[in-house]
């Protein structure tokens, strides 16, 4: 059964870079049938899609995050990662990684989420 697990620092200082990794188990991140996304949710608020990566390295980022976000993939470790630079308190959120099934229009598997707090 496919599982996604986020890991990384839960506390980041303002202006620094947030770094998270999503480990994928029970399936290959190199499958051409899926893409891999990061989605976040500020406390008490709705969901925001941040960006995605395809196994070949193709990425697309939400323009709302401008040039602050970078998503990378490590096929040898079956994981993908998120970096968000110049963080502020507004970046405090639960961060989820998720798998999108290409063509079916859905995120069918999600990680449990990890809370990242931006505070000095």
Stretch binding another protein (CB under 8 A), from 10-18, 19-27, 70-78, 94-102: 94-102
The dihedral built from the CA positions of residue 57, 65, 37 and 29, taken in this order, carries a sign that is positive
By the rule CB under 8 A, 107 interacts with another protein: yes
Query: Is residue 66 a contact partner of residue 86, using CB atoms and an 8 Å limit?
Result: no
Shortest Cβ distance from residue 85 to another protein (Å)?
19
- Shortest distance in whole angstroms from residue 86 CB to another protein: 20
Is 89 near another protein (CB under 8 A)? no
| Phi and psi, residue 57, nearest 5° | 105, -5
Q: How many residues of this chain bind another protein (CB under 8 A)?
A: 23
Of the residues 47, 58, 66, 77, which one makes contact with another protein according to CB under 8 A:
47
Q: Which of 15, 28, 31, 64 binds another protein (CB under 8 A)?
A: 64
As measured in angstroms, the least distance from the Cβ of 34 to another protein is 13
Site for another protein in 6-35 (CB under 8 A): none
The residues of the shown chain that bind another protein, judged by CB under 8 A, are 37, 46-49, 52, 60-64, 96, 100-101, 104-108, 110-113
């Amino acid at each position: 059964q496919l599982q996604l697990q986020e890991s990384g620092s839960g506390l980041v200082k303002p202006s620094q870079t947030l770094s998270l990794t999503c480990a994928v188990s029970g399936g290959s991140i190199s499958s051409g049938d899926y893409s891999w996304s990061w989605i976040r949710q500020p406390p008490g608020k709705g969901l925001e899609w941040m960006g995605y990566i395809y196994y070949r390295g193709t990425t697309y980022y939400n323009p709302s995050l401008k040039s602050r976000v970078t998503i990378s993939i490590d096929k040898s470790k079956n994981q993908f990662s998120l970096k968000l630079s110049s963080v502020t308190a507004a970046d405090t959120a639960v961060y989820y990684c998720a798998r999108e099934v290409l063509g079916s229009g859905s995120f069918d598997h999600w990680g449990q989420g990890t809370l990242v707090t931006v505070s000095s």
